Amino acid sequence: MAGRRPATDVLVLGSGVAGLTAAIHAARRGLTPIVLTKAELDTSATAWAQGGVAAALEEDVDSPDLHLADTVTAGAHLCDIDAVRVLVTEGPDRIRDLIAFGARFDHLGADLATTREGGHSVPRVIHAGGDATGAEIQRALAETARDLGIEVRERWRVTDLLVEDGRAAGVAALDAAGAPRQVRARHTVVATGGAGQCFAVTTNPVVSTGDGIAMALRAGVAVADVEFMQFHPTALDSPSTPRVLLSEALRGEGAVLRDDDGFAFMHDEHPLADLAPRDVVARAITRRCVAQGKDHMWLDATAVPNFAERFPTIWRFVRAVGLDPTHDFLPVAPAAHYLSGGIVADLDGASNLPGLWSCGEAACSGVHGANRLASNSLLDGLVFGSRIVEAVAAGKDGPDATGVMRGVPAWAPGPVVAPEYGGPTRREEFQRVLTADAGVLRDRESLERAAAALAAMRAETLEDANLLAVGRALVAAALARCESRGTHTRLDFPERSSAFDGRFVFGHGTEPVLVPLPAEALA
């Protein structure tokens, strides 16, 4: 019988910006990484990112402190201040790394071109290919991974964590041919992205099924902040699934939201008007849709200079559906876009299960709070993907009481519960429930209806079982959070309440526990 292959140093689950950053840094540190991806190396939500990457690169007009202030304001004061400080201070160097790996960002003369997006007080969002930032980053990282000879196993689907003697020992997976396999590792990095596919109306690719978060929930690993699904305000309202994103950068370059009467309503909603934080804009659009009995509002991008050159990807999409953004207003409505919560991670990305780490959208690192600041997500993957490797290389094995990990009860993770699937429920059925009853505006009645409907469903496939698990957790946390904050708007509790200055954490069981924010974490 063939002997068992020795455990690899670093097993990375996911091939988006966070996962590839971790794998590349591991290889450059002399560690042996293996990347498992359920699609291809070049396929991830990262590749779909349009707007850009936010970082305080221009010292004359910007600073990490200003970036920090914008991040915690957008995050509705539920960010972890130390995690945000790490993000904004290390971010610029990680972007320089990316440029050294070959990523080509747009320039204005000799300088990197920057734009503004919602919630940013200065232009600090760099971009590539106009509106193809994610695709360029994915290209640069994938090429670097290939050049470094990193082993990438494509079309492998992870089924569960292996937990042995109280630590993560790798994963059980189905290989490209569907055969059950085990991949053993000293360190396992969950960088599997978000769960936008919980919703019928989403900007996320079909691969965004919350696999890593569901796996953590099944293993009793701490997961938090999952009630904070961020809805992007301006997805093109067309029958396509997923929805076409109309980047916030359009509003940074002069586009304006208008209601069905042509009124530019954002001036009545927030001092930053069309560049208010994303949750404010999504709520304002949804409320106006309800008030005017419409499915969408309008994005007037007729004043955006050189639309086709500056936003070539969006130009192609809207032209394909017969719209000309230089003349036509574009129909827009909010769509599920980004999960601000996930696997609880300390400042180095360590989960509460030794040997298990998490970064990017799958993680709850505390940098996004209740509402992620626009274009902070790619930066998050770059910064925490590399910090994990630095910590592993320094010999760290388990979590510290830093960042979001502060205050999380000392639960021992486990036992691992196997995913349940093979039932009759199709994805569209629970997507409909979550969209109708746990969307931009929620209340107790709608959430209880959603909880009951989801409890009765049994998913057909592994990925749908993962989505269902994340959807149930999202609804349970949303029911428990009896206030409105960030992307979580309860019509029955319209105000923010200091009684909920904390995170709902899942660890043991299906009910979340409110962990108060330690005083030193408050921004």
Radius of gyration of the chain (CA): 21
> At its nearest, how many Å lie between ligand SIN and the CB of residue 314?
9
Positions 312 through 331 that interact with ligand SIN (CB under 6 A): none
Piece in contact with ligand SIN (CB under 6 A), picked from 8-16, 24-32, 242-250, 280-288: 242-250
Q: Which is nearer to ligand SIN, 106 or 248 (CB)?
A: 248
User: Which one of the listed residues 278, 427, 472, 490 is annotated catalytic?
Assistant: 278
Piece in contact with ligand SIN (CB under 6 A), picked from 135-143, 218-226, 241-249, 459-467: 241-249
Number of residues in contact with ligand SIN, rule: CB under 6 A? 10
Q: How far apart (Å, rounded) are the C-alpha atoms in residues 421 and 432?
A: 19
Positions 23 through 62 that interact with ligand SIN (CB under 6 A): 49-51
- Residue showing the smallest CB distance to ligand SIN in the complex: 51
Q: Does residue 472 carry a catalytic annotation?
A: no
Peptide bond into 242 cis (omega under 30): yes
> At its nearest, how many Å lie between ligand SIN and the CB of residue 299?
12
Q: How far apart (Å, rounded) are the C-alpha atoms in residues 413 and 172?
A: 17
Positions 325 through 364 that interact with ligand SIN (CB under 6 A): 338
> At its nearest, how many Å lie between ligand SIN and the CB of residue 167?
34
Amino acid at 173: A
Q: Which is nearer to ligand SIN, 205 or 354 (CB)?
A: 205
Of 44, 377, 484, 489, the residue at the interface with ligand SIN (CB under 6 A) is 377
The separation between the first and the last C-alpha atoms of the chain, rounded to the nearest angstrom, is 58
- Secondary structure (3-state) at 238: coil
Q: Which is nearer to ligand SIN, 245 or 433 (CB)?
A: 245
Here's the x/- map for ligand SIN, 196-235, by CB under 6 A: it reads as: ----------------------------------------
| 248 sits near ligand SIN (criterion: CB under 6 A) | yes
- Secondary structure (3-state) at 37: strand
> At its nearest, how many Å lie between ligand SIN and the CB of residue 375?
4
Q: How far apart (Å, rounded) are the C-alpha atoms in residues 161 and 158?
A: 8
> At its nearest, how many Å lie between ligand SIN and the CB of residue 117?
6
Q: Report which of 270, 325, 267 is spatially closest to residue 300, judged by C-alpha positions.
A: 325
Residues pairing with 173 in the sheet: 158, 181
DSSP line for 257-320: EE-TTS--GGGGT-TTGGGS-HHHHHHHHHHHHHHHT-S-EEEE-TTSTTHHHHSHHHHHHHHH
> Across 16-113, where does the E strand assignment appear?
33-37, 53-54, 107-108, 111-112
